[in-house]
Amino acid sequence: MNNFSDYINQYTNGKKVCILGFGREGKSTYRILEKYGAQASLAIADLNNVDREANGLPESVELICGKDYQSCLDRFDMVFKSPGIVLEKPLSELSCYITCETQVFFECFREQIIGITGTKGKSTVTSLIYHVLHENGVDCRIAGNIGIPVFDIAEGMEENTVVVCELSCHQLEYMTVSPKYAIFLNLYEEHLDHYGTLENYYNAKKNIYLHQNSEDDLLINSDIAPKEYNTWHTYTVSDKDKSADVYVKDGVIYYGDPYVIPVDRIKLLGVHNHYNIAVAYYIAMMYMDENEFTEALCTFEPLSHRLEYVDTVRGIRWYDDSISTACATAISALQSVPGAGTILIGGMDRGIDYTSLVDFLADFNVKVICMEASGKRVYDMIQAKDDFKDKSRVYYADHLEDAVKLAAEITPEGKSCVMSPAAASYGIFKNFEERGDAFKKLVAGLE
């Protein structure tokens, strides 16, 4: 069923409904429920205070705010949970039905959705797929974890409208429906403060394909491909495994006839982005030919804070890779920026294993500035590593401001300094965007 307004009406008919979390998605949910819903009552629950007047909320909408905001949930038939909210009780201990925008939207439109998840690269791949489709005249919309709630694009959907949807682990955690086309890019240690183990984190992500049927497509990194799905429409993608259905190496994508990535014409920096391009190429070939894909690829503007060139100041090229929250992305950053001279590492300590990064840095001739809590752990690991070459190139600075000042002093002229923290920003900055913006301001202040 894809008559969205009717579906919302039937979905909420006669039910006591609560919106849990009143941020961007919660407000989107409220707008749609207020317009199309047939709920018996509506409430909003949030840890923070919700201003009734500023948000135009009528007296009929109950507000439940403060530290006990989740204690009310069992009073309701249905709870729309925002992805940023962590439930204080497991589902088994709640009598209410937990749902979310993504669940409802997928129930309506799953046949039209290309869903993308993974620890790293999902925003780039989502944006790139949308760009090449849009540039070639495909009726498409972009939404999800990219910053656009799915309810914001739901009205006016046609049967041939394609939705390119970025999906986080928090959006997928309780999903019972999967998209027609699922893309699972990779899996690294992340969000362990919430999930505890990599397995739990993976289990949340797996919902992107777990509820697919035999007519659906799954494109997944060969390292994490589920063996039990090999008889379905499962395709692997890799830059290491030549037997993968989609294989990319040395700037060439092997999927059907080899496709040479026009590396001298594109703005996506780094070999790791060749993998992302290969994923987009797989999808694009359903809608266009190679020449059309190439023309669109060459006009794609990379997203901010993803190996973004900032400026050349004091003879140093500065790069913002604030999106980096894993060892693999910091390693890719060093392998991708031209003439890497210094890397800034560290942020919130979420307990991830930094062994692979420390091992890489041991033999990679670059100056390392560690900062914040996770950076201190990396610094201590390096000092304890007997075979780390030249520990005099490793420094510790308390915060980002100190790290940038130090980098300006020790980075050789003509070299690059990249902030690729391999750590979350929370507790220090609001998000990785704020961290990246702060880095850019500090660099500008060096002039």
Q: Which of 269, 297, 325 is the endpoint of a domain?
A: 297
Binding-site positions for ATP: 118-124
pLDDT at 206 over 50: yes
Question: pLDDT confidence of 194, banded at 50, 70, 90?
Answer: confident
Select the more confidently predicted residue: 201 or 80.
80
First to last CA, the chain: 58
Give the angle subtended at the CA of 29 by the CAs of 156 and 210, to the nearest 5°: 85
Task: Tell me how far apart the alpha carbons of residues 303 and 293 are, in angstroms, rounded to a whole number.
Answer: 19
Please check the confidence at residue 2 and state whether its pLDDT lies above 60: no
Query: Residue 228 pLDDT > 70, yes or no?
Result: no
Query: Is 303 within a domain?
Result: no
Residue 1 has pLDDT above 50, yes or no: no
pLDDT tens by residue, 43-55? 999 999 999 999 9
Q: Which residues contact 179 (CB under 8 A, 6 or more apart)?
A: 106, 110, 113, 114, 115, 165, 208, 212, 216
pTM strictly above 0.85: no
pLDDT higher than threshold 50 for residue 314? yes
- Average pLDDT over the chain, rounded to whole? 94
Q: Decide: 183 and 117 in contact? Cβ < 8 Å.
A: yes
**Residue 187 corresponds to which tokens in the numbers above?**
């899996």
Helix axes 122-135, 290-297, angle to 10 degrees: 120
Q: What's the pLDDT tens digit per position in 323-354?
A: 999 998 999 899 989 899 999 999 999 889 99
Structural domain range at position 372: 308-444
3-state secondary structure of 42: strand
Q: What CATH number should be reported for the domain holding residue 214? A: 3.40.1190.10
Last residue in a domain, options 265, 297, 329: 297
Is pLDDT at 27 greater than 50 in this prediction?
yes
Do residues 149 and 287 both lie within one domain? yes
Q: Is there a single domain that holds both residue 125 and residue 144?
A: yes
Asked whether residue 122 falls in the same domain as residue 216, the answer is yes
Which residues are known binding-site members?
118-124
Is residue 427 a part of any domain in this protein?
Answer: yes
Checking if the pLDDT of 231 tops 60, the result is no
Q: Are residues 322 and 245 in the same domain?
A: no
